[in-house]
A = this chain, B = another copy of it.
Amino acid sequence: MNCSTLGIGLAGFGTVGSGVWNTLARNGHLITSRTGGGITLEVTRILVRDPAKSRATTGEVPAALFTTAWQVLVNDPAVHIVVELIGGTTDAFELVAAALRAKKPVVTGNKALLAERGIELFAISRESNTPIHFEAAVAGGIPIIRTVQDSFIGNRIRSFSGIINGTSNFILGRMTEAALTFEAALAEAQALGYAEADPTLDVNGWDAAHKALLLATLAYGFPIDPAAIHVSGIEQVRPADIAFAKSLGYVLKLLAVVREHANRAVEIRIQPSFVPKSHILASVNGVFNAVAVHGDTAGESLFYGRGAGQDPTASSVVADLVEAARALRHTGDHRGFLPYADSGTLVPVGETSTAYYVRFDVTDRPGVIAEIARLLADHRIGISGTHSPVNPDNPDADFVDMIFLLHTCPFGKLQAALTEIEALDCVNSTPVVFRIEALT
Contact = CB atoms under 8 A, between A and B. Distances in A.
A298 B322 contact: no
A323 interface: yes
A295 interface: yes
Interface string A280-317: 10011000000000011111111111100101101110
A318 B19 CA distance: 34
B150 A147 contact: no
Looking at chain A's contact residues, is the secondary structure mostly helix, strand, loop, or mixed? mixed
14 contacts: A26-B296, A27-B297, A30-B154, A34-B340, A35-B153, A151-B319, A154-B318, A280-B283, A297-B311, A298-B316, A301-B304, A303-B303, A330-B330, A333-B333
A146 B329 CA distance: 20
Contacts of A323: 150
Contact of A303 (B24, B156, B301, B332): B301
A334 B312 CA distance: 27
Contact of A152 (B280, B306, B315, B335): B315
A315 B298 contact: yes
Interface in A249-288: 280, 283-284
A338 interface: yes
A298 B326 contact: no
Given A298-B312, A305-B300, A332-B330, A341 B143 contact: no
A143 B148 CA distance: 10
A384 B223 CA distance: 60
A31 B311 CA distance: 33
A334 B284 CA distance: 37
Residue with the highest number of chain B CB atoms closer than 10 Å, among A31, A34, A36, A326: A34
Residue with the highest number of chain B CB atoms closer than 10 Å, among A24, A284, A312, A322: A312
Residue with the highest number of chain B CB atoms closer than 10 Å, among A26, A153, A338: A153
Contact of A156 (B27, B316, B341): B27
A128 to B, nearest CB: 14
Given A146-B151, A283-B283, A333-B333, 11 more contacts: A27-B156, A27-B296, A30-B153, A141-B297, A141-B298, A147-B147, A153-B322, A154-B322, A297-B311, A298-B311, A298-B316
Interface in A189-223: 221
Interface string A13-41: 00000010001101100110111100000
